[in-house]
Amino acid sequence: MYLIAGLGNPGLKYKKTPHNAGFLAADALAEELGVRFSKRENGKVAEGRIGGEKVLIVKPQTFMNLSGDCIAPLANYYKIPPEHIVVCYDDKDLEPGKLRIRENGSAGSHNGMKSIIERLGTQNFPRIRMGIGAPAGMRLMDYVLHKLSREEQAVYSGMAKDAAAAAILLVREGVSAAQQKFSSKASKN
């Protein structure tokens, strides 16, 4: 069984912001698998299958900085090992539209990832980093929470579809197959 989480913040205020790139990936994956989200204790969860594997697609509703409070209890309940937890999240160090897939690693400056690593007690889980960039001269908090323009929405939509496809490939064939096909690939909108 796999748990594929897309990180973001709940509520209309945060919809269509760079910080919610992970939610877009989760939505794209649910659409691709033909499943719908239902509300659970700390998140929205959709259950589906990728090949022979059962998957939980999760959108934590705990706000970004407490993402681990949703993901760790679900992983524990379903006995999902860290190597089967895939996290999709925004990355300011990547150009908008690009993906980078890693088998493990630190949280960097991402508070959602810090929360997950802390709650799981490990950083050894795959992640799909989704490029949002970070323009010079703008406070990071203001940038990650700004409303996306139509042009930006098109880029993010393409990136979310690529992230969903990368997650499917990761489950089917492993991290290295997903890395080869999707890492540093710019989305086509």
Residues annotated as part of the active site = 19
Give the residues across from 88 on adjacent strands. 6, 128
User: Please, where are the H alpha helices in the chain?
Assistant: 21-33, 68-78, 111-120, 140-144, 150-173, 175-182
Amino acid at 78: Y
Q: Return d(Cα 147, Cα 70) in angstroms, integer.
A: 25
Find out whether 94 and 132 touch, Cβ atoms under 8 Å. Answer: yes
Q: Return d(Cα 34, Cα 28) in angstroms, integer.
A: 10
Q: Return d(Cα 111, Cα 105) in angstroms, integer.
A: 14
